[in-house]
Amino acid sequence: MQVFDMIINGKPVRAGSTFDVVNPATGEVFARVQAGDVSHVDQAVAAARTAFPAWSRTPDAERKRLMHALGAALEAHMPELMELVTKEAGKPLGGLNGVGSGMEVGGAIAWTHVTADLELPVEVIQDNDDARIEVHRKPLGVVGSITPWNWPLMIAIWHVIPALRAGNTVVIKPSGLTPTATTRFVELANAILPPGVLNIVTGESGVGSAIAKHPEINKIVFTGSTPTGKNIMQNAAGNLKRLTLELGGNDAGIVLPDVDPKAIAPKLFGVGFHNNGQTCACLKRLYVHDSIYEEVCAELARIAKETVVGDGLVEGTELGPVQNKAQLDFVQELVEDARAHGARILSGGKARPGGGFFFEPTVIADAKDGMRVVDEEQFGPVLPVIRYSDIEEVIARANNNENGLGGSIWSKDHAKAAELALRLECGTAWVNEHGAVQPDAPFGGVKQSGLGVEFGRYGLEEYTSIQTLKIMKA
Ligand code: NAD
């Protein structure tokens, strides 16, 4: 059994006790990690605080070089990291439309290199005979990163690399459900970075809230559920921490009547079900025009029934298990609620007996606004399909949700679709696509899906504060 240590100030640290990490495909323990507590948070923050002055003054070109070295280390350990991600998160090595742990580790590598090359140059606002005014971007100090279980390594990279690139030091806490790939990454990174620059504390007993409250942490970057995000915001108020909060989503997609149902169904299925629907910006509510409703539903159900569900380590698996039992039970509860309220379950609808947390890919027709599976984030392999006939009305229905992460319009008429997409209340709107992110385009939620953005220059700026320098010449 592999046992993972925390890394604090460049050294492995044991907590005295460990907790189990379960492979959701088998329900069996495959690794143990340290059950760290608040005292380890204090140690890690002290190490990060001590490392900050030298790291923040390290020449930019050197920090950039070290970030590329981290990308190379990820690449050199790709098969090992993929296996850890598949074992802890359940996602297949390959996966539906190539969305699996290969994409997760490959994405982590790509994000690292692209972010390494981002620049935050000094901006000159005024330079005349009277004065010169410059805007500088300075690192914030110690960044606390708290990550979820659905894309454990990718999201850790999304937090850690821009924070370090901008000159901050970091304490990361991965989800207790999926701590292994992140811990291994931090181990690899500590062979490259100076001690204390990147520290990891694992453990669930108050570790997250200790990070949120810690007076020596200057910023929190959090990806996870909206209720936890709100709690972090309250706890972070003590020293007015800067916050980036990437929270829950309940993304709507609207299919206009001009599409070909057969051609579009595989794309819709892919963006709704990849990673078993356990992606913040998966398509989670699908509104289809009345004229093609039955045909789209039938195609989606056909694809769902043909999808290969199984252990992610087995080649050819398209969808793995749901990541944990509580999430599996929640998904079942939402499906039963829909059934009880008159929805038609066209495929799946139930957990698979035996070991592991498997749920059959489920397409729900005659779903309606007001049903829990439509109004709440299901975060599982279940797609409710809702009928509409009037475009004005469906835009209002799509927007009538407290979340605002992503949204999409599907149509052959790109100009009309773009016009409608801009009316969706969400951080990213796609036309004929959903959930696709890339390292140079900003991504974030509006309404209760979060605060701030990640990726590209806009994302990098969130790890800095502005210092304005005014030099009088007269
Ligand atoms: P979660 O909120 O339960 O947990 C996320 C992390 O927060 C874990 O590390 C957990 O241990 C920690 N945590 C729990 N309570 C805490 C507290 N009081 N203070 C500080 N930390 C605490 O979320 P989850 O179930 O792991 O992830 C699923 C959710 O994440 C979904 O809602 C999904 O939409 C969202 N998500 C959002 C994005 C995005 O970019 N917007 C990306 C991925 C996932």
Q: At what angle do helices 180-190 and 78-89 cross, to 10 degrees?
A: 150
* Residues 49, 54, 60, 61, CA torsion sign: negative
CA 223 to ligand 1 centroid distance, Å = 5
Please return the burial class of 247, using the count of CB atoms within 10 Å of its CB with bins 0-12, 13-18 and 19+: buried
Q: Which residue has the tokens 């005292």?
A: 39
Ligand 1 pocket residue status of 209, Cβ below 6 Å? yes
How far apart CA 179 and CA 57 sit, in angstroms, is: 31
Per-residue pLDDT of the chain (474 residues), as tens digits, is 899 999 999 999 999 999 999 999 999 999 999 999 999 999 999 999 999 999 999 999 999 999 999 999 999 999 999 999 999 999 999 999 999 999 999 999 999 999 999 999 999 999 999 999 999 999 999 999 999 999 999 999 999 999 999 999 999 999 999 999 999 999 999 999 999 999 999 999 899 999 999 999 999 999 999 999 999 999 999 999 999 999 999 999 999 999 999 999 999 999 999 999 999 999 999 999 999 999 999 999 999 999 999 999 999 999 999 999 999 999 999 999 999 999 999 999 999 988 999 999 999 999 999 999 999 999 999 999 999 999 999 999 999 999 999 999 999 999 999 999 999 999 999 999 999 999 999 999 999 999 999 999 999 999 999 999 999 998
CA 389 to ligand 1 centroid distance, Å = 36
- In ligand 1, the atom with minimum distance to the C-alpha of 173 is 9
CA 443 to ligand 1 centroid distance, Å = 17
Q: Catalytic residue at 187?
A: no
Cα 349 to Cα 150, 203, 290, 381, 454: the distances in Å are 22, 34, 24, 9, 35
Ligand 1 pocket residue status of 280, Cβ below 6 Å? yes
Q: Whose CA is nearest to atom 40 of ligand 1?
A: 246
How far apart CA 126 and CA 32 sit, in angstroms, is: 57
Are the C-beta atoms of 110 and 70 separated by less than 8 Å?
no
Ligand 1 pocket residue status of 406, Cβ below 6 Å? no
How far apart CA 88 and CA 79 sit, in angstroms, is: 14
Kindly give the pairing relationship between strand 198-200 and strand 219-223: unpaired
Q: Catalytic residue at 246?
A: yes
SS3 call for 219: strand
Are the C-beta atoms of 467 and 245 separated by less than 8 Å?
no
CA 149 to ligand 1 centroid distance, Å = 8
How far apart CA 288 and CA 284 sit, in angstroms, is: 13
CA 280 to ligand 1 centroid distance, Å = 10
Query: Does pTM surpass 0.85?
Result: yes
Which residue in 203, 207, 218 sits closest to 52, CA to CA?
218
Ligand 1 pocket residue status of 320, Cβ below 6 Å? no
Ligand 1 pocket residue status of 220, Cβ below 6 Å? no
Backbone angles phi, psi at 164, to 5 degrees: -70, -40
Ligand 1 pocket residue status of 175, Cβ below 6 Å? yes
- Of 88, 280, 282, 360, which residue is the catalytic one? 280
Please tell me what DSSP assigns to residue 462. Answer: T
SS3 call for 430: strand
Ligand 1 pocket residue status of 208, Cβ below 6 Å? yes
Q: Whose CA is nearest to atom 35 of ligand 1?
A: 224
How far apart CA 147 and CA 152 sit, in angstroms, is: 7
Cα 236 to Cα 211, 214, 431: the distances in Å are 9, 8, 37
How far apart CA 318 and CA 98 sit, in angstroms, is: 8
Instruction: Report the alpha-carbon angle 192-194-196, nearest 5.
Output: 120
Are the C-beta atoms of 171 and 82 separated by less than 8 Å?
no
